[in-house]
């Protein structure tokens, strides 16, 4: 921690108990990320199917049907993203906003990029027939949307990843620098695989529903054919996750690992193996048995999502807890020092007021002027030597026979010296005290 920035925390109470905010963060994030996965995976699947549709019309129909779901999943992803964003802001304020600042312009660009990609998605969805004779242009619109769909989560991932490593903050110089951290791309490709796996299962369910008018759209493809496409996509992406998963673990700093974290992750891996086994068994079976294990697979994959999301939070807590403890200690020290400084200031103010009152009671205007000076001016001015501002003897030289100008300056000063800070105004000094103060300044020896 020697080279790690250690800022003071914001001493504000959380809006909810911390344990409740943690639960809200994990649960709301999982709900959000599922629809993000479907949005990203669906856009990739649509692009793949529409390109294949150049030679086989059935794939173009499949692409159009998948594209129809993307805007819905997009809307759900956005709405469900509010709760985790607010939760992580409350729980990890310093870390989240520091990462925002370090990733710079890219983080700010998320909002216009999201707006543009959503418009592209709607344009692509609602011009399918109008651009039937301009398929390459139509595909290009989708390709641009896919590229942006892929880039926006990368920005989020870089930002959330960076907040876990305060020790890297001093070496990061913008988005590209944060992007170069060794665990960013393994985590990103793991996310892409998860998106494709969930999209594959979604296609299997969506196209296989009994109330879905499959025969109205497809002339050659059967439900079994499309279901198998979905299963194949889910299986291939899940197997790829098994390849990227160990790379993610190997590139994450050891500071976040614990037996509890490993237990959660390995439990998720075991359940994922179970789901993959039944995907393989389903694809090797007959068309009549394609729905036999579907619920089992979906439930298993849902459990995997819960385990992985929980493991992610456990790693984050483990990684940040030592830094948070040090930051809490520094914050407590700052608050104590601030409290003592306020108390000292109040005591000095009380003493100064007593001195002014005593001088006023004695009728000694010179003593009162000095007491007023000590109360308001002595922090920056000495009688005969330079402190923050010029000495009193210099003021006397400037304002001899110009008391009115001196009073005006004290009440509303400007800035004369480039090497000194501007003097603050003192409108709170009443006329009687101001008279005694200026008289004391102009009579200093």
What are the phi and psi torsion angles at 312 (to 5°)?
-60, -45
CATH superfamily of 365-443: Cytochrome c-like domain (1.10.760.10)
CA 130 – CA 134 distance, rounded (Å): 8
Confidence of residue 68 (pLDDT cuts 50, 70, 90): very high
Burial of residue 269 (CB within 10 Å: 0-12, 13-18, 19+) is middle
User: Is there a contact between 352 and 375 (Cβ–Cβ < 8 Å)?
Assistant: yes
DSSP 267-297: HHHHHHHHHHHHHHHHHHS-GGGTTTTHHHH
Q: List Cβ neighbours of 154 (8 Å cut-off, separation of 6 or more).
A: 179, 188
Task: Write out pLDDT tens, residues 112-163.
Answer: 999 999 999 999 999 999 999 999 999 999 999 999 999 999 999 999 999 9
Handedness of CA 211, 212, 218, 223 (dihedral sign): negative
For the ranges 135-149, 181-195, 229-243, 387-401, which has the lowest average pLDDT? 387-401
Percent of the chain with pLDDT over 70: 100
CB atoms under 10 Å from CB of 15, counted, come to: 10
- Write a three-state SS string for 177-201: HHHCCCCHHHHHHHHHHHHHHHHHH
User: Is there a contact between 150 and 192 (Cβ–Cβ < 8 Å)?
Assistant: yes
Structure tokens at 331: 């914050």
Structure tokens at 401: 């026979």
Q: Is the pTM of this model over 0.85?
A: no
How far does the chain reach from its first CA to its final CA, in angstroms?
55
CB atoms under 10 Å from CB of 163, counted, come to: 22
> Which among 414, 376, 411, 415 is positioned nearest to 392, based on CA atoms?
376
Structure tokens at 295: 């619920």
pLDDT, position 2: 56
pLDDT, position 1: 52
Q: List Cβ neighbours of 245 (8 Å cut-off, separation of 6 or more).
A: 190, 269
Task: Write out pLDDT tens, residues 322-362.
Answer: 998 988 898 888 888 888 888 887 787 777 777 777 777 77
User: Is there a contact between 41 and 199 (Cβ–Cβ < 8 Å)?
Assistant: yes
> Which among 227, 306, 226, 230 is positioned nearest to 264, based on CA atoms?
306
What are the phi and psi torsion angles at 171 (to 5°)?
-100, -10
């Amino acid at each position: 921690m020697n080279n790690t920035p250690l800022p003071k925390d914001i001493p504000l109470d959380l809006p909810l108990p911390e344990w409740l905010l943690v639960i809200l963060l994990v649960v709301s994030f999982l709900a959000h990320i599922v629809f993000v996965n479907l949005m990203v995976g669906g856009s990739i699947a649509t692009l793949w199917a529409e390109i294949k549709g150049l030679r086989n019309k059935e794939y173009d129909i499949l692409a159009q049907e998948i594209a129809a779901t993307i805007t819905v999943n997009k809307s759900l992803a956005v709405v469900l993203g509010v709760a985790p964003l607010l939760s992580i802001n409350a729980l990890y304020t310093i870390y989240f906003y520091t990462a925002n600042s370090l990733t710079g312009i890219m983080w700010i660009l998320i909002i216009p990029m999201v707006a543009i990609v959503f418009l592209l998605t709607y344009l692509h969805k609602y011009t399918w027939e109008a651009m039937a004779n301009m398929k390459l242009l139509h595909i290009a619109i989708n390709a641009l949307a896919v590229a942006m769909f892929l880039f926006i989560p990368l920005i989020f991932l870089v930002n959330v990843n960076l907040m876990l490593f305060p020790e890297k903050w001093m070496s990061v110089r913008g988005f590209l620098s944060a992007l170069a951290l060794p665990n960013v791309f393994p985590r990103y490709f793991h996310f892409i695989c998860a998106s494709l796996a969930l999209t594959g299962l979604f296609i299997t369910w969506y196209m296989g529903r009994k109330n879905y008018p499959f025969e109205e759209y497809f002339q050659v493809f059967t439900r079994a054919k499309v279901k198998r496409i979905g299963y194949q996509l889910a299986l291939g992406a899940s197997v790829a996750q098994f390849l990227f998963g160990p790379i993610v673990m190997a590139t994450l700093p050891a500071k976040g690992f614990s037996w509890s974290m490993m237990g959660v992750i390995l439990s998720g891996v075991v359940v994922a193996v179970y789901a993959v086994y039944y995907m393989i068994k389903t694809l090797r079976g007959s068309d009549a048995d394609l729905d036999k294990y579907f619920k089992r697979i979906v439930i298993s994959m849902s459990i995997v999502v819960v385990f992985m999301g929980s493991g992610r939070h456990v790693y984050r807590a483990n990684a940040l807890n030592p830094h948070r403890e040090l930051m809490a200690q520094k914050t407590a020290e700052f608050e104590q020092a601030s409290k003592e400084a306020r108390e000292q200031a109040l005591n000095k103010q009380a003493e100064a007021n007593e001195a002014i009152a005593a001088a006023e009671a004695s009728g000694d205007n010179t003593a009162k002027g000095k007491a007023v000076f000590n109360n308001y001016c002595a922090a920056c001015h000495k009688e005969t030597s330079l402190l923050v501002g010029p000495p009193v003897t210099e003021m006397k030289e400037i304002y001899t026979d110009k008391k009115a100008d001196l009073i005006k300056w004290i009440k509303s000063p400007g800035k004369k010296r480039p090497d000194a800070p501007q003097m603050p105004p003192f409108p709170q000094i009443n006329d009687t005290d101001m008279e005694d103060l200026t008289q004391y300044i102009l009579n200093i020896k």
